[in-house]
Structure 1
């Protein structure tokens, strides 16, 4: 962005009533966000609508659109005619379902809410590692089967966790795990070091890293390169009795392979937060897979502060746009995130 705004920008906030209220921009939440950005209302006019009932206003007058773009069929192609649109801010971080961005008008870009999931997502990730160490998926299965058995465990100190996908969430989980005494291995696309990771590797070393881990935490974004990233060969590479946790999109996993490795006890337990189909169908075999805990895609959102953090990113980017500075967390379609 290299042009300062010569007028107040029109920011359209599109609430979707079909999604949980955690994603709604209420007057209180908008006010809380704007209090941190004195003078922003001099730069931008905020309009809040519901279920795109103001679609004509969005197409004709909007400079910036803030929306979840989910839960309600939205005529994305109509945005190609939004000649004033500078950028769309997506309430979320996984944008695989919006690619390719061929519905965006020429020159417009997309930003996302990277980092808004903290610290809840990091706490959720750490919780899953502690639950796996304490065999909680195994105990839940035993409870379901009315079976009284005991397993005694040792502390997590000195045990190894492999974080596959060291982005914002993976890096934060690694930091909390390290504070508790885990040795942290990491795999990321760039292979670049991270302050919370003891040893970092590129994707080519995935199987070698999996073989060293007592626990695997999967937080890779869904792209063409990561679709079914973790399958039978990868599970076979893990130590017998390893624990597995995933906060990634469901398409990053081979579910048949996961079920098989839980059923034959190669994995001691698994906790998963994202699925191929949501909600998980009632007839899905996942419900009855032993030593598997399913959480209904709730591991990354703070019910009180998530949308305020998303709005904070929006407000910072409005100021950056007006100042002619690069936008934070801009989507890179060629990478898929």
Structure 2
């Protein structure tokens, strides 16, 4: 008789210095036994071949990992993992970004690392086009005027014909681009490879970013954080933006120089911004960003489905677990050299 595959799920209690960092986030991202069993009903062939253990943080982690074939988690103790988890074959990270696990020299040979790519596309795409429409309709300025009791008529136009520079063309970026194209926005994709995609009108490698930045009425950042993308939109590049352009960042804070962004907003060179990612998170109450005019702050909620995040995550898990059991190639594999 074939032995059952052992799967350990490591949830995290919320703390301000880790993930999740709010009580609301803990509710959204926790994989309970009830949620797991509900998802398993859609995958009876896989659930019949696995046994699952669910625990919190690092409580009993080593005991669970001694027999685990697969781990589902946001983070994990990485020291001596080969000795702690001698049977481990696969680690699934429940987020899209994996920069918190870099450098990945801790990953044992033969262990596959996957992420949640694709889970965020529907929600992130809707949030993205909402943000672009907010910028086009001067909503950051209008919200600033509301606080100041300033009744100033700020008119806009239909958005068709405007240009979007989209930095990051993964699943969320493509969803944003699809919405944008449907409204007649010209979409210029920027990525490491510069490959053309159906959702784009034009595509360039990141080496040509300086050339396309001045063309964008909006710049949308949704690239992962890697050594190559850190401070990608520095002060020099922010000065290349078309006068009055709007900026959205739902990728990672370190990709954009926020101090330079504040300068641009104050001077009027940048017309408005929507920021969903910060460092640290939660954004400290003393941060100057809270009182910055023409800026909308959202608390890292742009791409996470508040009702279905766990079920979407578990669909990715079960589909890949089936592949692992059948000896097929797993989807969403992280390139450990590139960091995403």
For normalisation by structure 2, the TM-score amounts to 0.93
SS in 1 for 2:246: strand
- After superposing on structure 2, the runs of 4+ consecutive aligned residues of structure 1 that deviate more than 6 Å are none
Runs (5+) with no aligned partner, structure 1: none
Provide the alpha-carbon RMSD of the alignment: 1.4
Is contact 1:59–1:78 with CA below 8 Å preserved after alignment? no
Give the aligned partner of residue 10 of structure 1.
6
Give the aligned partner of residue 56 of structure 2.
50
1:93 and 2:107 aligned:
no
1:315 and 2:311 aligned:
no
Q: Give deviations 1:91-147, integer Å, cap 9, x for gaps.
A: 101001101223333321211000111311111111100100111110111122222
Q: Give deviations 1:232-277, integer Å, cap 9, x for gaps.
A: 2211111111111111111111111100100000111000111121
Give the aligned partner of residue 33 of structure 2.
27
Give the aligned partner of residue 304 of structure 2.
301
Residue 307 of structure 1 deviates from its aligned partner by: 1.3
Alignment of 1:1-337 (within 5 A): 6-18=2-14, 19=20, 20-69=26-75, 74-81=76-83, 82-337=85-340
Distance 2:82 2:144 in 1: 51
Is contact 1:217–1:245 with CA below 8 Å preserved after alignment? yes
SS in 2 for 1:77: coil
Residue 6 of structure 1 deviates from its aligned partner by: 4.3
SS in 1 for 2:38: helix
Aligned residue pairs total 329
Distance 2:56 2:206 in 1: 42
Residue 289 of structure 1 deviates from its aligned partner by: 1.5
Is contact 2:162–2:186 with CA below 8 Å preserved after alignment? yes
